[in-house]
Every structure is written in structure tokens, then in C-alpha cells.
Structure 1
Amino acid sequence: MNLTMLWFVLLLCGLISAQDDGTATVTENPNEIQSCSPDMCDLLVEFGAMREKLRAMETRLEDSETRLRNSETRLRNSETRLRNSETRLNESETRLRNSENQILELRNKEGTKVIFSAVVGRGDKAIGPFNTDITLIYRRVITNIGNAYSQSTGIFTAPVAGVYYFNIFYHAGRAHASGLHLYKNSQVMVMTGHQQSDNDKPDNGGNAVFLQLQRGDQVYVRLVANAYVWGSDYDTTFNGFLVTQI
């Protein structure tokens, strides 16, 4: 039962009591009591006080509900800001990891050293001529930083992608033609040589090239058919190094 209904019930009881004993008179305004019995007057006074307390409690309850809603709103805003902060933190961590990876990659590039120099190294023996092309093996290794050149096969294998520099040089007599081809995988890149001549003195020759290689590409030198070079420990060489990693 709400407050208004309770008020009318009590007022009706007061009217009925007043009519029964003739001691109470109520005006049309329910807040103005002309006369009533002592018990009824006390009850109405207590009821009025209770109504004021109830109104005060309702007001405080509404204020509390308002503060609660405001607190909930602030809490949601705080949660949103926290999620945004977490997102920014994750993005910062991702950028930091990417930066660290780039730094490590640069350090690895700077730390990669590939340099080799080798000589045929067959004493005073001539190599060739043969009736077919052969891969020339430079057996005397002077330098092989990075171990990319194989002393047993004569093949250089690129350890990293990059631009490399290679050169070849030979020394030979005039008794036979000379010819060297430098290959990248199965393709001739550069060559050097001379034709047989009875009038020439001993010949020297060479060539050089920059090659862009992928990791695993192979570079080697082949002595062409019917040609020869001197195989001493000092004359016929194969050299190369990594210029820049890409």
C-alpha cells in the first residue's frame, strides 16, 4: 500500500470515529484537522512525521542511485581508458620487438665477413689441355674467411644474399691456348684467355666481375677444352669477397 492510500485509510478511520463519538471534525483540506480524539491526533502526527522521514529517505535513495550511476559511468570510463592504455602498450611492445629485430639483423649483416683467395697450387705442373671443360680446383688456399670456398671442389657457395666481387688470373706459356670461364651456377659470367702462337712469349690474363648472389648460389672457374694454365703455387688465382649484404 502506497503512502497516499495509507493517508486516506487513516483519514477515513478518523472520520468514522468522529462521527461515532462526535468529538472530531475534519475540514475539506486533509492537512487541517479541526478536532479529533487524542489517540487519532497522535496517530496522525506520527503519520505525518513518518511521511516526512519517508520522503527524506526517498530523496537520499535517489541521491544514492544518482551517485551509483555516476560511479558506474566513471568505472566504465576508467575501464575504457585502461583498455586503450593496454592497446597502446601492446603496440609499443610490438614496435620495440620490431626495432630489436632490425638491430639484430643489421648487426648480423655487419658481422658477416666473406673473403677468400686461392691458387691452383700444383707445383710447376701445367694443368691441361683436356678434351673437355673441367672445373679448376684451386688447392692452395691463402685466405678463406667465412669458409665459403671449398678447397676440395673449387666451388664458392654464397652463405648470404648480397653483392660479391670475384676475379681470376692465369699465367701460361705459348705452347697451347689458354681459356678460363667464370660461372655463376650454370651460366658463364666472364672469361679470359689467349690463342696458341709460336711467336708469343708466356701469357698472362685475367678478368673481374661484381655478382649479385642469393644464398646457396655457386661460383666457380672452368678450364675450357684444349686449353691449359700453369699450376704453380703462385700464378693462377681465384679470389672473391662479399661487398654488401642485401
Structure 2
Amino acid sequence: MNFTIVLFVSMFCGLILAQDNATGATETEETGETKSSCPDMHDLLIEFGAMREKLTSVETRLKESENQILEQRNKERTKVIFSTAVAQGEKHVGPFNTDITLSYKRVITNIGDAYNPSTGIFNAPVAGVYYFTIFYTAGGNREGKLFLYKNNDLVVMTSDHITQYDGADNGGNAVFLQLQQRDQVYVRMAANSHVWGNDYYTTFSGFLVTQM
């Protein structure tokens, strides 16, 4: 609408000047006032140009804000939550003569399908901060010892020593981990140690706190 008005005024100013030239009109106070309005037109064009630049800048910022909102919404849609338990037909798992990766066969929750019950390994689907917990119950006549790994690095552990007077031992630990996409997290059981199974006693859980 503004640019239409500017164009109309410009044409009107041009018609007046053309009429003055055709009639050979001398400069009078009236024509002087008419001509003086034409320089004002130049100032208006400059002002509207500045307004257009401001509008373009605002549109750019709005577009950037929209992209940020869409990116945040995509992050919020990423849900990663899992909770598992060691499932064994017998009461306990182990002992073994070497460290083993525990395979938690009973999948209680696996939103996002990031945990693989066949391998016992959690694979991070997106980069972010995750929270993991490990808990176990074991007989007191043998040591219970679990390690939580990120890729090839030991992060936290939980253990309890052998006791002759305690029929059962419990242990647990938890940690926040910053992971990159495809990082792996899993639990290893130490050689010559054991844990109880039976679907309920020994668990491995985790969830995505925030995507990065």
C-alpha cells in the first residue's frame, strides 16, 4: 500500500513539472511550492527504503526463531527410556573364570529400542546426556561385583565382599553420562563373582535426560 502511494505521488509530481514546462510557466511562488514538494519525495523514498530494510531484518529473525522452535520440537520428540532385568531359569548367574558382559534378557521398558537384549548393550541413538542405574542382589557366600562401561572405559562400579554371616548382599550405582551418537553403554560382571537372576533382582536402566 505504501509503495502504491509513493508511486502515485511521484507520477503526480512528474505531471505537474511536465505541465509547467509545456506552458512555459515562469517560476512563481505557487510553482516554487509545487517544485519544492518534489525533493520531499526523494526523502520519502529514502525513508521507505530504510523501512524495507528493517522489515527484511525482522523477517530474517522470525525465520531463525521458527527454525529454532522446530529444532527444539524435534529434540523433544526423541524419547529414549529402557529398564531391564537379568532373567535366568536358575537362581544365580556366575561365577565365571573371566569378566563377562551381562545380558539382561527381561525387557521391562525399551522406548526408542536403543537397548539390545541379545547383547546387553545400549546404543545411544542421539547425542545427549543420559542417566543410568545398575542394581544387583547376590548371595553373601561369594563376591558380587559389577562394572558399568562407556565404550571401552570403566565409568562406575558396585560390589560387596564375601560374608559368612550375611545370606544376601545388595549393591547399586548411578551416573549421568554425556554420549555421542552410537556410543555404547553396558554392564560387565567381574570374574569369580555372581548375581541373582529370576527376573527381578538385578537390573540395568537408563533414559535420555536432554539431547545436545
| Alignment TM-score, normalising by the size of structure 2 | 0.74
* Distance apart, 1:234 and its partner CA: 1.4
Instruction: Number of aligned residue pairs: give it.
Output: 189
Structure 1 distance, partners of 2:135, 2:88, is 15
Residues 199 and 57 (structure 1 numbering): CA distance in 2 closer, same or farther, change over 3 Å? closer
* Distance apart, 1:172 and its partner CA: 1.8
- Equivalent position amino acid for 1:131 in 2: N
Other-structure match for 2:139? 173
Q: What runs of 5+ residues in structure 1 fail to find an aligned partner?
A: 1-55
Structure 1 distance, partners of 2:59, 2:117, is 47
Other-structure match for 1:201? 167
* Distance apart, 1:154 and its partner CA: 1.4
Structure 1 distance, partners of 2:41, 2:179, is 60
* Distance apart, 1:181 and its partner CA: 0.5
Structure 1 distance, partners of 2:170, 2:25, is 111
1:184-232 superposed Cα distances (whole Å, 9 cap, x missing partner):
2222221112233444312222112222333333221111122222232
- Equivalent position amino acid for 2:183 in 1: D
Other-structure match for 2:67? 101
Q: Is the 8 A contact 2:146 2:188 kept in 1?
A: yes
* Distance apart, 1:131 and its partner CA: 2.6
> Which structure has the highest strand share of the two?
2
Q: Is the 8 A contact 2:79 2:208 kept in 1?
A: yes
Structure 2 distance, partners of 1:106, 1:194, is 43
Q: What runs of 5+ residues in structure 2 fail to find an aligned partner?
A: 1-22
Other-structure match for 1:57? 24
Structure 2 distance, partners of 1:58, 1:84, is 36
Structure 2 distance, partners of 1:76, 1:194, is 87
* Distance apart, 1:58 and its partner CA: 7.3
* Distance apart, 1:183 and its partner CA: 1.4
Structure showing greater relative contact order (alpha-carbon pairs closer than 8 Å, 6 or more residues apart): 2
Q: Secondary structure at 2:146's aligned position in 1?
A: strand
- Equivalent position amino acid for 2:51 in 1: S
Structure 1 distance, partners of 2:40, 2:191, is 88
Q: Secondary structure at 2:47's aligned position in 1?
A: helix
Structure 2 distance, partners of 1:207, 1:175, is 22
Larger of the two Rg values belongs to structure: 1
Structure 1 distance, partners of 2:41, 2:191, is 87
Percent pairwise identity: 57
**Structure 1 segments (4+ residues) deviating >4 Å:** 63-70
